[in-house]
Amino acid sequence: MKDIAALAIKAGTAILDIYSREDFGVTYKEADQPLTLADKAANDVIEAGLTKLAPDVPILSEESRAVPYQERRSWGRFWLVDPLDGTKEFIKRNGEFTVNIALIENGRPILGAVHAPVLGVTYCGASGLGAFRTKDGASVPIAVADYTKAPVVKIVGSRSHAGAEVEAFVKKLAEAGVATEFVSMGSSLKLCLVAEGAAHIYPRFGPTMEWDTAAAHAVVDAAGGSVTSLDGSRLLYNKDDLLNPYFVVAGKPSFPWRKYSADIFGG
């Protein structure tokens, strides 16, 4: 776990070098999907580091070549990487972007490191080893929070993609008399806020890719929380389609979000 955290921090240093420049070298993969020099620099650092650490374990990264499902379907274990999660946050210079590195085994994230270079904070988690938050050289164990012991239910949502469904969900809670506090955050840090108990629930009713969530999912699991699709099943990785379904991140006990979201999705 320490080696992966160190690698994420090293990639973060490469990102900060470009973050300090006037020109990020922004291009677009698709109409609204920006790509910067920092994405590539971080990806190069991570791929070189992972290849050195575990030369026999394949790597699937947002910024590397597309690997067809026919090839990766046989992968029992592989690295899943987003070298710069929150490129839009990077371009806005708000600091809420991360480096994400996860180890997937049989469709589940068993180890993950999430590093926020500007914030100087790193989250790590691994099956059987627990979850940790490191800042200024000090590492402390973290765990999800019990919403029943809090005066308000803290809901974390996307800085850039809140969406009508999340707004409807929050409105349903208000109509039911549930006291809530909404916290906006960018990138995979939203999952990490649940993992460390700073938020109770993160409903994601919008598109994400597997590399966006895998590392932080491992941290949430190790911290005692859950990441499930709307039917209550675990989020799985290395699917034919790498697009995630809508999902909810929750602490333990899990906030009973289904009874407030059923009308929104006709469930």
Tens of pLDDT, residue by residue over 190-227, are 999 999 999 999 999 989 999 999 999 999 999 999 99
Exposure of 105 by Cβ count < 10 A (0-12 exposed, 13-18 middle, 19+ buried)?
middle
Q: What is the pTM of this model?
A: 0.93
How many other CB atoms are there within 10 angstroms of residue 263's CB atom?
11
Distance CA 259, CA 200 (A): 16
- What pLDDT, on a 0 to 100 scale, did the predictor assign at position 32? 57
Identify the band that residue 163 occupies on the pLDDT scale cut at 50, 70 and 90: confident
What domains can you pick out in the chain, each with its CATH number?
A: 2-142 (3.30.540.10), 147-265 (3.40.190.80)
- What pLDDT, on a 0 to 100 scale, did the predictor assign at position 39? 86
Residue 56 confidence (pLDDT) above 60: yes
Identify the band that residue 9 occupies on the pLDDT scale cut at 50, 70 and 90: very high
Distance CA 53, CA 178 (A): 48
Q: Which of 36-45, 72-81, 175-184, 197-206 has the lowest mean pLDDT?
A: 36-45
- What pLDDT, on a 0 to 100 scale, did the predictor assign at position 94? 85
- What pLDDT, on a 0 to 100 scale, did the predictor assign at position 28? 54
* pLDDT, averaged across the chain: 91
Tens of pLDDT, residue by residue over 82-135, are 999 987 787 788 888 999 999 999 999 999 999 999 999 999 999 999 999 999
Q: Which of 138-147, 153-162, 194-203 has the lowest mean pLDDT?
A: 153-162
Residue 5 confidence (pLDDT) above 90: yes
Residue 16 confidence (pLDDT) above 60: yes
Residue 26 confidence (pLDDT) above 60: no
